[in-house]
Amino acid sequence: MVEITIVGASGYLGGELLRILVNHPEVDKIIPISRSYAGKPVSSLHRNLYRIFDENFEDLNLEKIDSDLIFFAAPPGDWFESIPGLLERGIRVITLGGKFRIQDSKIDREVYGGYENEELLRERVYGLPELYRDEIRRARFVTNPGCYPVSIILAIFPLVGFGNRLDLKRIIVNSISGTSGAGASPSEFLHHPEMCNTVKPYNVTFHRHTPEIEFILKDVFKRDIRISFTPSVGNMSRGIMSYITLFSKELDVNLSKHFNNFYKKEPFVRVIRERDENIPELGSVIGTNFCDIGVNYDNGRILILSAIDNLIKGGSGQGVQNMNLMLGFDEKSGLELIGGHP
């Protein structure tokens, strides 16, 4: 049995980590850290945990931590400097924010700024098990992927063997995310009356997840990749649907069958196959660690649709999947969550 610390336990991803870990068969102690709510019961904020997890939030004091693994479910900050010391003390680390996901110090500096440490950047493993499972098993320090990148990279990855027949410099991606993607802090942009009857495109010329997606796909395709990415936020609280278009020379393969074979051993990627069009349902993945993918082909155009829950496969569920691998547990432990219908 292990002890897990969560920094940022008052946030949305912190709350989802708690919800998953309270039922994890290998976890017997969770330390929930929050600077703003220290001393208050966790269930006074995360009311879904009332009588499930009635501990109090604890203040941030990383010197005191002696857990097996620590999640930083917080935006990158000064705490990043404590990671080398935590690793030296034998504590494994998973970060859920963006810093160090891109293993190139120049791009990391441009996109995220702040702390620099080449050695630590080289050590980091990108926490997407479908691509880097063996490395994650051996890792001390994992950077969890961004929510949009999970939905987009998993959708494109099965095309890795077709690289020379695709136009990899013209990949067009549109995604719609729920408002929880922006975290728990209120903002005018997401204020309910401004948001409840609309879809809002944002960061349409540059979103910080674009270099992450390109960096990881370049690593697996071993080719130059260009993504034209347009995110939007929609009037739902959670979920991401991504629409990915690629152009190819005539393909003589059944892509849907290929995707299905490609992912048949993956516990959390489901390839949706229907008679005519392959369309995943966002509602089916909400509350689960699944990524549901449907691929369609028409006259040189490949359209892949990919659905995840941004807080789970796009965040905390992905983090627990990585934790399971790092600590030698069954990869599915705590994560066999099924969505509801309707």
Ligand X SMILES: NC(=O)c1ccc[n+]([C@@H]2O[C@H](COP(=O)([O-])OP(=O)(O)OC[C@H]3O[C@@H](n4cnc5c(N)ncnc54)[C@H](OP(=O)(O)O)[C@@H]3O)[C@@H](O)[C@H]2O)c1
- Residues with a known catalytic role: 147
Least distance from ligand X to the Cβ atom of residue 266, Å:
20
Q: What's the half-sphere exposure (Cβ side, CA atoms, 13 Å) at 282?
A: 16
- The answer to whether the CB of 141 falls within 8 A of the CB of 117 is no
Neighbours of 215 (CB within 10 A): 18
Of 11 and 287, the one with the shorter C-beta distance to ligand X is 11
Task: Respond yes or no on whether the N-terminal peptide bond of residue 342 is cis (omega within 30° of 0).
Answer: yes
* 256/273 Cα distance (integer angstroms): 7
Of 146 and 280, the one with the shorter C-beta distance to ligand X is 146
* 101/300 Cα distance (integer angstroms): 33
Of 37 and 268, the one with the shorter C-beta distance to ligand X is 37
Least distance from ligand X to the Cβ atom of residue 81, Å:
11
Of 79 and 132, the one with the shorter C-beta distance to ligand X is 79
Give the nearest residue (CB) to ligand X.
11
Least distance from ligand X to the Cβ atom of residue 94, Å:
11
Least distance from ligand X to the Cβ atom of residue 144, Å:
7
Of 47 and 265, the one with the shorter C-beta distance to ligand X is 47
The residues binding ligand X (CB under 6 A) are 7-8, 10-14, 34-37, 60, 73-75, 77, 79, 96-98, 146-147, 180-181, 183-185, 310-311, 314-315
Of 15 and 158, the one with the shorter C-beta distance to ligand X is 15
Least distance from ligand X to the Cβ atom of residue 249, Å:
36
User: What does the H/E/C string look like for the chain?
Assistant: CEEEEEECCCCHHHHHHHHHHCCCCCEEEEEEECCCCCCCEHHHHCHHHCCCCCCECECCCHHHCCCCEEEECCCCCHHHHHHHHHHHCCCEEEECCCCCCCCCHHHHHHHHCCCCCHHHHHHCEECCHHHHHHHHHHCCEEECCCHHHHHHHHHHHHHHHHHHHECCCCEEEEEEECHHHHCCCCCCCCCHHHHCCCEEECCCCCCCHHHHHHHHHHHHHCCCCCEEEEEEEECCCCCEEEEEEEEECCCCCCHHHHHHHHCCCCCCEEECCCCCCCCCCHHHHCCCCCEEEEEEEECCEEEEEEEECCCHHHHHHHHHHHHHHHCCCCCCCCCCCCCCCC
Least distance from ligand X to the Cβ atom of residue 56, Å:
13
Biggest CA-to-CA distance, the chain? 62
Of 24 and 238, the one with the shorter C-beta distance to ligand X is 238
Least distance from ligand X to the Cβ atom of residue 95, Å:
8
